Amino acid sequence: MKLNPENTRNLALAVLTIEAEAVSALASRIDDAFLAACTHLLECRGRVVVTGMGKSGHIGGKLAATLASTGTPAFFVHPGEASHGDLGMITRDDAVIALSNSGATDELLILLPIIRRLGVPLIAMTGNPASRLALEATVHLDVSVAREACPLGLAPTSSTTAALAMGDALAVAVLDARGFTAEDFARSHPSGRLGRRLLIHIGDIMRTGEAIPRIRPAALLGDALVEISRKGLGMVVVCDDAGQIEGIFTDGDLRRTLDRGLDLQRATIGEVMTPKGFTAQPDWLAAEALEKMESHRINALPVVDAEGRLVGAVNMHDLLRAGVA
């Protein structure tokens, strides 16, 4: 066998075109049935149970995961296992979403009487509005496609893409209706980059106590350089006995001091520091501090409390280690 580059490229483009058309056709089906499905999901007091067989099951698993991560508690139940005990996972407070392109999947149809006795809403997503599953559902969402992208017309391709897109439309519509925010999303994804950006505060990662590079205004420049080197933050905070910040001295300030030609043996840090400077507070999101550091092209920030007293320090490396940058 040998790959024909032109045929391969043309077939791949045809797949994308056919699947794009299948998704585009769904726009006209965002109708009253879709709104009814969203309402059932919003009013569900328990969990949304998603089920499907084969490729539809894979799409159902993804839908359940998307719902769960966007504010709608959900899980996937394999229909084959459901009829052997797992149906006990469904309670009267739940809602069910069943996916089947044919609408005639035996493993799903056998569950219909039990779902009906429980009295829970059944949202069916099928490619056949005349199928038994579609007709017995509380709400039917039509995800039929004109043709599969598979040149044999056999492998589920366009049909699974359409079901996936309709599922995403459901999840996002319900997300918005719930008033689900980026902060809510972050709480569901604490290990993800977004979660870290929206959940980690400066107070969680700042250096405190003896790890803070600090010095008094009357100290010699040489002592300040020793403190910068020892603490490894690329700066030293100049503050009085009460912890009030009077200035900051950084690596950049050192270069400017050298250009001024001062006597480095006699100069005090108070003579060469940058007065006041930028600060952060412990309750800031680490992402806020990162934005401030990037916009002002600085690599480290002192952290102060509500009274302006020095309580910590943070630099770009701390943010990188926390996974915020």
Dist. CA 8–CA 191, nearest whole Å: 39
- 164 and 288 housed in the same domain: no
Query: Which regions in the chain score pLDDT beneath 70?
Result: 82-88, 181-199, 325
Task: Write 178-186 long-range contacts (CB < 8 A, 24+).
Answer: 178/42, 178/71, 178/72, 180/70, 180/71, 184/71, 185/69, 185/70
**Residue 138 maps to a domain:** yes
- 118 and 227 housed in the same domain: no
What crossing angle do the helices spanning 32-43 and 158-178 adopt, rounded to 10°? 60
- 16 and 152 housed in the same domain: yes
**Residue 192 maps to a domain:** no
Three-state DSSP at 47 gives coil
**Residue 34 maps to a domain:** yes
- 247 and 102 housed in the same domain: no
- 139 and 26 housed in the same domain: yes
In the prediction, which pLDDT does 195 show? 52
- 103 and 226 housed in the same domain: no
- 41 and 89 housed in the same domain: yes
Provide the 8-state DSSP code for 139.
E
In the prediction, which pLDDT does 77 show? 92
Task: Show the tokens assigned to 125.
Answer: 């997503």
Q: Which residues pair with 73 in a beta bridge?
A: none
Q: Which residues pair with 314 in a beta bridge?
A: 301
| Residue where a domain stops, chosen among 147, 180, 213 | 180
- 176 and 215 housed in the same domain: no
| Residue where a domain stops, chosen among 180, 213, 233 | 180
The residue among 227, 226, 188, 194 whose CA lies nearest residue 211 is 227
Dist. CA 153–CA 147, nearest whole Å: 7
Q: Which residues pair with 248 in a beta bridge?
A: 237, 274
- 67 and 164 housed in the same domain: yes
Three-state DSSP at 319 gives helix
**Residue 196 maps to a domain:** no
Q: What is the CATH number of the domain that holds 253?
A: 3.10.580.10
The two beta strands, 48-52 and 74-76, are parallel
Task: Show the tokens assigned to 58.
Answer: 């894979």
| Residue where a domain stops, chosen among 180, 214, 233 | 180
Provide the 8-state DSSP code for 149.
S
Dist. CA 304–CA 108, nearest whole Å: 61
What backbone torsions phi and psi does residue 146 show, to the nearest 5 degrees?
Answer: -70, -35
In the prediction, which pLDDT does 325 show? 59
In the prediction, which pLDDT does 39 show? 97
- 35 and 159 housed in the same domain: yes
**Residue 113 maps to a domain:** yes
Dist. CA 86–CA 3, nearest whole Å: 46
**Residue 300 maps to a domain:** yes
- Residue 278 is part of which domain span? 202-321
- 162 and 102 housed in the same domain: yes
- 229 and 120 housed in the same domain: no
Quote the number of domains for the chain. 2
**Residue 191 maps to a domain:** no
What crossing angle do the helices spanning 251-260 and 221-231 adopt, rounded to 10°? 150
Q: What is the CATH number of the domain that holds 112?
A: 3.40.50.10490
Dist. CA 167–CA 153, nearest whole Å: 23
User: What pTM value is reported for the model?
Assistant: 0.65
**Residue 193 maps to a domain:** no
Dist. CA 277–CA 208, nearest whole Å: 19
